[in-house]
Amino acid sequence: EFRRVLFRSELSPLVSLSGSWIGSPGDRSGIVVPNLTLTPGDRVSIIAAVYLPYGATLRDGRLGSVYGASPLSAFGQLRLYF
């Protein structure tokens, strides 16, 4: 069984904040993903996100939870529209 929550907020016409959470209530693990989007013009947008996992990691070589062993990671994207 899994749960997922999404949110989005426009802080200004140029900046929006969004994110998601996906979790496993059974083992109390999950991943939180905050996302920042900058849109300085009609033809450009810049996106940055960080993947923040939590939960039990490996135990004796076995997974302790669904998401706990996931790596901390980041994502960046530049979009150009022609």
Q: How many CB atoms lie within 10 A of CB 23?
A: 20
| pLDDT for the residue numbered 2 | 85
- Taking the model in full, what pTM does it have? 0.84
> DSSP character for 81?
-
Distances (CA, A) of 78 to 27, 38, 59, 81: 36, 10, 39, 10
Contacts of 81 (CB under 8 A, 6+ apart): 42, 43, 44
**Binning pLDDT at 50, 70 and 90, where does residue 52 land?**
very high
**Overall average pLDDT of the 43-71 stretch:** 92
